[in-house]
Amino acid sequence: MQQLTIAIDAMGGDFGPQVTVPAAVQALSQFPELKISIVGDRDEISTQLTHLNYTPPNSRLFIIHSDSAIGNNTLPSKALRHSRGSSMRIALDLVASKDAEACISAGNTGALVGLSRFTLKLLPGVERPALISPLPTKNNQCTWMLDLGANVSCDAETLFQFAVMGAELAEQSLGRKAKVALLNIGEEEIKGNDQIKRCAEMLYQCQNIEFIGYIEGDKLYQGIADVVVCDGFVGNVCLKTSEGVAHLFLEQLKSHLITSKFKQILAKWLFGDVISSLKGLNPDQYNGASLIGLRGIVIKSHGSADISAFNNAIKEAVHEVKRQIPNRISDRLEAVLLERHY
Amino acid sequence: MQQLTIAIDAMGGDFGPQVTVPAAVQALSQFPELKISIVGDRDEISTQLTHLNYTPPNSRLFIIHSDSAIGNNTLPSKALRHSRGSSMRIALDLVASKDAEACISAGNTGALVGLSRFTLKLLPGVERPALISPLPTKNNQCTWMLDLGANVSCDAETLFQFAVMGAELAEQSLGRKAKVALLNIGEEEIKGNDQIKRCAEMLYQCQNIEFIGYIEGDKLYQGIADVVVCDGFVGNVCLKTSEGVAHLFLEQLKSHLITSKFKQILAKWLFGDVISSLKGLNPDQYNGASLIGLRGIVIKSHGSADISAFNNAIKEAVHEVKRQIPNRISDRLEAVLLERHY
């Protein structure tokens, strides 16, 4: 079995080592081929390992001490200037120096995007990296959506590149051609802003991508498209709004049920499967958005991720290392560009 | 009781007179002070009235014949050039000539925005009209959101004007100061695009508006803000995505229940209130987005509205006529501009 090493920013997210360390230990038991370099405050990490009765040194878990961590409110430009010695920067440097094959952080998104671009560099032909994540849809399918917040605005060419990168990532999981759509405020050709209209023209002309046209927000969870492309502002609002609506529904159901034990038992019998399937519709259930377009693998975890969610992000990193996602994206982009020029 | 007249574009929407005519007849029985001018194909309207055993001429319902209707896919620019004689244009002209005090249409949104602007003109100081609608939130409250799709992009000044107009409309229903927020991809001051950051600065400086800062998509339905401001692209995606998630949840619940009649009866008896309250969380339940910023009242109904939903749009029009919303918005904007200059 081929070994692989993943670097984890232990200090990122709302809970830091309390979440990242147990999730890492869990991943080591799930993947015998996995090695982890965990970067952060040595004492805090050791305390967590002691809680777990897991005693380093272990030949598969390496603690790399860092003196600082990047705050959630630090401006990306400032984070970049003062990143030396921070857990996020060290974890990314390990990928840049090929000492690790992927990096995971639950820290400041803007800083992670900026630092990843700076340390790992973009793939040839890529203008902007994008955050992409699968969202649950009807009938237990999923739809990959990008960009989820790496870029506040995007031109037509950038959206086009996102479509190509997203299609490649989705196809690696689906094992078939991915249906790609552009998120818009109407399905007719006249709708939307200039960037979207021009990107649609480019996608219609591209033989390499199966473009199915525009999709509206209300169709997002119907499983019509495998990949949905939009700019990072719209994508982020869309994802968070969906989480908000899903939480509201689940909360409302719960609050009605706790009024009586009798109702609770009956509800479990009547709706046990429905409620768990409703929970499965919450986009929050997935964790681990990939920052794609870079010469290395970077996974962004939710800041509020718990141990199991952070563990999902590690699993996504392992999957991408095994599939060599950056190489595949690079090849796909080259193929599309060649098609365009000849 | 003071009389009021409302003009209805009978031909707009997915169902045309089949929905608009019964909804109008319903409204006439709800509001004794109401007169309706219904614009569209005279034969189609008469057929519907015959179905309802409602025989014109009646001193409160006037049929105004139109030869054409604007299609859903017509470009706004084309709609504007070829609008003469269409039901939408005639209904709007009735407001412009003061023969009606409000217009309601379920037709092409882009055409309605363009034609409204052309026939009714903008209020002094307003650069763009905006679509605004209340959304249901936790604890049976609601949040007004704008712009829901009248403008695909907006600068800081336009967003600022939306905030002022939205606050005035919300306060007319709330009877107290409205808490206004800007939709963004983070709550920290560093987040978002330039337009949003500059608009936030303007709102912080404005004494006349109670600005509470940024709000993220996942907090939209928590009832934290009374008014949420964003550009029309983001607002439209956000609203439709919410409807999509809500429908998915309700569908899932329903599909589990129809497996057994016994389960259905038991569920209705035990959880009837939960299910109806979940339905109440669907943003779709409200109908009638107001196009504000104009020198007249225009209500946009969902294209897919049924009789009861279209009737809600008529009720919204009656409410706005009684409150003289355009005058109040004009006064509020003037007050804000004066505060800014002195």
Model confidence pLDDT, tens digit, residues A27-81 = 999 999 999 999 999 999 999 999 998 875 568 999 999 999 998 878 878 888 8
What pLDDT sits at residue B203? 95
Nearest CA in chain B to A234: B234
User: How large is the average pLDDT for residues A148-165?
Assistant: 93
Strand order in the sheet with B130-136: B61-65, B34-40, B4-9, B102-105, B297-300, B289-292, B130-136, B142-146, B227-229, B179-183, B210-215
For B189-200, the pLDDT digits (tens) are 667 788 999 999
B73 touches chain A (CB under 8 A): yes
A143 touches chain B (CB under 8 A): no
Do A97 and A107 fall within a single domain? yes
Angstrom distance (rounded) from CA A303 to CA B95: 52
Angstrom distance (rounded) from CA A151 to CA A232: 5
For B263-308, the pLDDT digits (tens) are 777 777 766 666 666 666 665 567 789 999 999 999 999 888 899 9
B237:A238 CB<8 A? yes
Give the torsion sign (CA, A75, A78, A82, A83): positive
Do B160 and B212 fall within a single domain? yes
Give the position of tokens 């649609």: A200
Residue A334 lies inside a defined structural domain of this protein: no
Do B159 and B32 fall within a single domain? no
Range scoring the smallest mean pLDDT among A34-48, B105-119, B125-139, B278-292 = B278-292
What pLDDT sits at residue B262? 75
What pLDDT sits at residue A189? 62
User: How large is the average pLDDT for residues B18-41?
Assistant: 95
Q: Are B66 and B11 in contact (CB under 8 A)?
A: yes
User: How large is the average pLDDT for residues B135-142?
Assistant: 83
Angstrom distance (rounded) from CA B208 to CA B167: 10
Do A133 and A279 fall within a single domain? yes
Range scoring the smallest mean pLDDT among A187-191, A286-290, B318-322 = A187-191
For A190-200, the pLDDT digits (tens) are 677 889 999 99
What pLDDT sits at residue B111? 92
User: How large is the average pLDDT for residues A98-120?
Assistant: 94
Residue A335 lies inside a defined structural domain of this protein: no
Of residues A268 and A70, more confidently modeled: A70
Nearest to B227 by CA among B148, B337, B321: B148
Range scoring the smallest mean pLDDT among A87-96, A270-279, B53-62, B325-334 = A270-279
Residue B141 lies inside a defined structural domain of this protein: yes
B265 touches chain A (CB under 8 A): no
What pLDDT sits at residue B247? 82
What pLDDT sits at residue B189? 62
Of residues A227 and B193, more confidently modeled: A227
Angstrom distance (rounded) from CA A260 to CA A264: 6
For B6-28, the pLDDT digits (tens) are 999 999 999 999 999 999 999 99
Task: Pick from B249, B273, B300 the residue to mutate for testing the A interface (most A CBs within 10 Å).
Answer: B249
Q: Which residues of B touch A149 (CB under 8 A)?
A: 185
Q: Which residues of B touch A183 (CB under 8 A)?
A: 237
Residue A33 lies inside a defined structural domain of this protein: yes
What pLDDT sits at residue A57? 55
Question: What backbone phi and psi angles, to 5 degrees, belong to B10?
Answer: -70, -20
Q: Which residues of A touch B244 (CB under 8 A)?
A: 217-222, 242
Nearest to B181 by CA among B149, B150, B221, B154: B221
Angstrom distance (rounded) from CA B317 to CA B6: 8
Question: Which band of pLDDT confidence, cut at 50, 70 and 90, is reported for residue B99?
Answer: very high
Task: Supply the CATH number for residue B167's domain.
Answer: 3.40.718.10
Question: Which band of pLDDT confidence, cut at 50, 70 and 90, is reported for residue A304?
Answer: confident
A240:B248 CB<8 A? no
Residue B255 lies inside a defined structural domain of this protein: yes
Of B192, B241, B277, the CB nearest to A241: B241
Residue B90 lies inside a defined structural domain of this protein: yes
Nearest CA in chain A to B139: A252
Q: Which residues of A touch B216 (CB under 8 A)?
A: 237, 240
Do A255 and A132 fall within a single domain? yes
Q: Which residues of B touch A72 (CB under 8 A)?
A: 188
Nearest CA in chain A to B140: A252
Do A157 and A72 fall within a single domain? no
Q: Are A261 and B290 in contact (CB under 8 A)?
A: no
A145 touches chain B (CB under 8 A): no
Does residue B225 carry a pLDDT above 70? Answer: yes
For residue A64, give how far its alpha carbon lies from the nearest alpha carbon of chain B (Å): 30
What pLDDT sits at residue B241? 92
What pLDDT sits at residue A54? 80
Angstrom distance (rounded) from CA A131 to CA A169: 12
Does residue A277 carry a pLDDT above 70? Answer: no
Q: Which of residues 88-127 of B touch A (CB under 8 A)?
A: 110
What pLDDT sits at residue B129? 95
Does residue A92 carry a pLDDT above 60? Answer: yes
> What percentage of chain A exceeds 70 in pLDDT?
90
What pLDDT sits at residue B139? 76
User: How large is the average pLDDT for residues A13-37?
Assistant: 95
Do B38 and B122 fall within a single domain? yes
Domain boundary (A267, A285, A303) is at A285
Q: Which domain covers residue A305, as residue numbers?
A: 1-126+293-326
Do A115 and A164 fall within a single domain? no
Q: Which residues of B touch A263 (CB under 8 A)?
A: 270-271
User: In the predicted model, what is the mean pLDDT of chain B?
Assistant: 89
Angstrom distance (rounded) from CA B194 to CA B212: 18
Does residue A138 carry a pLDDT above 90? Answer: no
Give the position of tokens 């970077």: A298
Three-class secondary structure assignment of B28-42? HHHCCCEEEEEEECH
Nearest CA in chain B to A139: B252
For residue B224, give how far its alpha carbon lies from the nearest alpha carbon of chain A (Å): 13
Of B216, B273, B281, the CB nearest to A249: B281
B274:A281 CB<8 A? no
What pLDDT sits at residue B231? 93
What pLDDT sits at residue A208? 92
Of residues B244 and B192, more confidently modeled: B244
Residue A36 lies inside a defined structural domain of this protein: yes
What pLDDT sits at residue A56? 57
User: In the predicted model, what is the mean pLDDT of chain A?
Assistant: 89
Do B261 and B310 fall within a single domain? no
Do B148 and B257 fall within a single domain? yes
Q: Which of residues 191-220 of B touch A (CB under 8 A)?
A: 191-193, 216-220
Residue B61 lies inside a defined structural domain of this protein: yes
Question: Which band of pLDDT confidence, cut at 50, 70 and 90, is reported for residue B250?
Answer: confident
Do B202 and B315 fall within a single domain? no
Does residue A260 carry a pLDDT above 80? Answer: no
> How many domains does the structure of chain B reveal?
2
A218:B241 CB<8 A? yes
What pLDDT sits at residue B284? 59
Do B281 and B297 fall within a single domain? no
What pLDDT sits at residue A186? 76
